[in-house]
């Protein structure tokens, strides 16, 4: 069988699910910062925030860099006035960091079901979770999908809720700059751009930005401006709980290099995703998620396995040297966040989803190899040989 021959290519030893893309430029940037002896937050962080601001092209918005997207979510909730005992609606299908950001503020995350077609928060279920204590909603842009985001903003407006978008998967999405909410991004090692670890908040709400700048630095008033001048605060005041969650110069220097070559990363990721869409969409037993590659830059490429053989496919691809992933275990199934009710769509989604490699270090022949192996699995399964 031709497919089987293609899938036994000897030089295909291990294709990683995700990979950072660091080169000599990033190494040089880190070396420059180390030689400066100013490695904490300073001029590099300031420049990175300015360059991100220019990248998004929003004159009315502020950018605040922190040390992770988890920190971005936590601080955004605090800066928006979320307090102990407030309820925040969160899709159960997300990384646990989204829920932890809520509890870090003393608030209560309310797990919500998702839509089966794309894993986006179910607005029908969100209406059921609404109470007098509900203060905010966090839509999660899983796989960069944001086609239903306006429904969230309409729901929030009708119920006077704060919207904080978990846009960890969404860096580079062309629609982002059009929205006026609070958006939190991730720059961890495998995202569309990386700082090693890092994140940021983008918002046009100036009062939120100003508060973020203080509470990321232990609540020390005005410390951001002094650090950006290469100074430290010795005489200062603190008026609320703060945290040590700022981004340092080393991380920012790496991020600046990554941002400068984002156009290359974008091209590679979108090309790989398009190859999957073109070759896998017509296979019986597979349903790619509705990712609009014209506007989104895929951080991951999940497919839905509709014939109940997700785990068999995962094992098959592993034998072929292809790493895959299963994101995410619904949070309402975790002991800490269990609220005592079922969310069936999220469980169904979780049990049928599989992420395949899409990162920018993939060669074209490696993407074709992944495609051929998937085709082989479904060809053999259909003919009941597997």
Question: What residues does each domain of the chain span?
Answer: 2-20+262-382, 24-260
Note the pLDDT of residue 218: 97
Note the pLDDT of residue 314: 97
Note the pLDDT of residue 385: 45
3-state secondary structure of 128: helix
- Going by C-alpha positions, the residue among 298, 293, 288, 296 that lies closest to residue 359 is 298
Note the pLDDT of residue 61: 87
Would you mind telling me the total number of residues written for the chain in this entry? 386
308 preceded by a cis bond (ω within 30 of 0): no
Note the pLDDT of residue 382: 64
Report helix angle 364-382 to 310-319, nearest 10.
130
Average pLDDT of adjacent 10-residue blocks, the chain of 386 residues: 47 82 97 95 98 90 96 98 98 98 98 97 98 98 96 98 97 87 96 97 96 97 95 94 98 98 97 96 93 94 96 97 96 97 98 97 97 93 55
DSSP per residue, 180-200: -SEEEEE--TTSSS--SS-EE
Distance (Å, rounded) from C-alpha 104 to C-alpha 101? Answer: 5
Note the pLDDT of residue 3: 47
83 to 92, 185, 241, 341: CA distances (angstroms): 21, 22, 12, 25
In CATH terms, is domain 24-260 a member of 3.30.365.10? no
In CATH terms, is domain 2-20+262-382 a member of 3.90.1150.10? yes
């Amino acid at each position: 069988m031709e497919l089987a021959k293609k899938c036994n290519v000897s030089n295909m030893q291990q294709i990683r699910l995700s990979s950072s893309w660091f080169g000599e430029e990033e190494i040089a940037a880190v070396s420059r910062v180390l030689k400066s002896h100013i490695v904490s937050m300073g001029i590099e962080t300031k420049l990175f925030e300015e360059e991100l601001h220019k990248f998004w092209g929003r004159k009315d918005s502020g950018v605040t860099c922190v040390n992770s997207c988890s920190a971005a979510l936590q601080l955004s909730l605090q800066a928006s006035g979320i307090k102990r005992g407030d309820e925040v609606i969160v899709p159960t299908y997300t990384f646990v960091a989204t829920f932890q950001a809520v509890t870090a503020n003393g608030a209560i995350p309310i797990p919500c079901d998702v839509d089966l077609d794309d894993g986006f928060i179910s607005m029908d279920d969100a209406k059921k979770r609404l109470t007098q204590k509900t203060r905010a909603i966090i839509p999660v842009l899983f796989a960069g999908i944001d086609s239903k985001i306006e429904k969230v903003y309409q729901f929030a407006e009708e119920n006077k809720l704060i919207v904080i978008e978990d846009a960890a998967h969404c860096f580079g999405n062309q629609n982002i700059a059009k929205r006026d909410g609070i958006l939190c991004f991730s720059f961890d090692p495998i995202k569309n751009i990386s700082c090693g670890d890092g994140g940021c908040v983008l918002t046009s709400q100036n009062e939120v930005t100003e508060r973020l700048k203080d509470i990321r630095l232990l609540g020390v008033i005005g410390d951001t401006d002094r650090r950006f001048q290469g100074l430290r605060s010795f005489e200062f005041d603190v008026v609320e709980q703060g945290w040590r969650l700022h981004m340092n110069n080393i991380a920012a220097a790496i991020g600046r290099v990554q941002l400068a070559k984002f156009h290359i990363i974008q091209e590679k990721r979108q090309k790989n995703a398009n190859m999957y869409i073109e070759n896998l969409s017509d296979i019986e037993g597979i349903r790619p998620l509705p990712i609009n590659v014209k506007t989104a830059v895929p951080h991951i490429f999940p497919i839905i396995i509709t014939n109940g053989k997700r785990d068999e496919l995962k094992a098959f691809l592993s034998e072929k040297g292809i790493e895959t992933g299963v994101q995410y275990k619904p949070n309402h199934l975790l002991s800490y966040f269990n609220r005592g009710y079922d969310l069936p769509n999220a469980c169904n989604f979780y049990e049928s989803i599989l992420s395949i490699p899409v990162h920018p270090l993939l060669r074209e022949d490696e993407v074709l190899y992944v495609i051929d192996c998937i085709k082989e699995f479904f060809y053999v399964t259909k003919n009941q040989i597997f």
